[in-house]
Amino acid sequence: MQIRYQVLVQLEKVHVTKGIYMKNNKITVLLITLALLSLFTGIRINGEYGFLYQYTFRGAPVMFYYDMIYNKMGWPRIIHWALLFSTNLALLILPFIYDKMKNRNVIIYIPLLFAVLASIHLSLFSFILIPFMTIWVILIIVKKVESNKDKQVK
């Protein structure tokens, strides 16, 4: 009888673990989608596509180089770019470190900070980031539903 009870307990642990894994899987897929949207969201201007990553990773450093040559350094612009760059890197890393994090509210604040910083630079980015913000809202809803399920289980 004791052995049978232990087997049932082990099966329940596997079932609970599988449910937790599936929850993180949904959130991880949404985080990966957010990371891809933060890079490849763009708009077509004059027959060429302009992506958000082109400003963050290529355009801004080139602008800063020319600003240094002509002695027109704008420190607020450099600080803004550094914050945008760091939040973009955080978005790219977030799907891989989400399971190991203790403060899981970071998935709310990092995308919000990224969207605000991108929109401050150019108001056009606020329209480009509509799909990004939609996925972010879905992520918040899924996180809230999953945390409510965890509370009910405990």
pTM of the prediction?
0.72
The Cα-based distances of 107 to 4, 5, 24, 100, 144 in angstroms read 42, 39, 12, 13, 12
Structure confidence by residue, pLDDT tens digits, 93-102: 988 888 787 7
CA pseudo-torsion sign 131, 83, 110, 35: positive
Query: What whole-number distance in Å separates Cα of residue 136 and Cα of residue 111?
Result: 7
User: Using 50, 70 and 90 to split pLDDT, how confident is the model at 135?
Assistant: very high
Q: How far apart are CA 77 and CA 31, in angstroms?
A: 28
Write out the DSSP string of 14-34.
Answer: HHHHHHHHHHHHHHHHHHHHH
* The pLDDT value given to residue 73: 67
